[in-house]
Amino acid sequence: RSFLSRDDIGIILINQCIAELIRHAVEAHARSVPAVLEIPSKEHPYDPAKDSVLRRARGMFTADDLR
């Protein structure tokens, strides 16, 4: 949480498996800066269904927008 309030941080990269442990905090973060981006780790493959940023982006578009 301390990283979210710092003015010198614009992007927070976090392994998706760690983001799952604090999903409530990741989902509650609504500001655009710093951006919280979930990345895969060697041990855990990336699952787009769990990515909060990707889910929010999908909610912004309708099926007609993507055609």
pTM: 0.66
Report pLDDT digits (tens) over 9-66: 999 999 988 988 998 988 888 888 998 988 888 888 777 777 776 766 666 666 665 5
Residues paired with 39 in a beta bridge: 15
Taking the mean position of all CA atoms in its chain, how far away is CA 40?
Answer: 12
CATH T-level assignment (fold) for domain 1-39: Rossmann fold (3.40.50)
The DSSP secondary structure of 20-57, one letter per residue, reads: HHTHHHHHH---SSSEEEEE--SSS---GGG-HHHHHH
Structure tokens that stand for 24 in this block: 């409530």
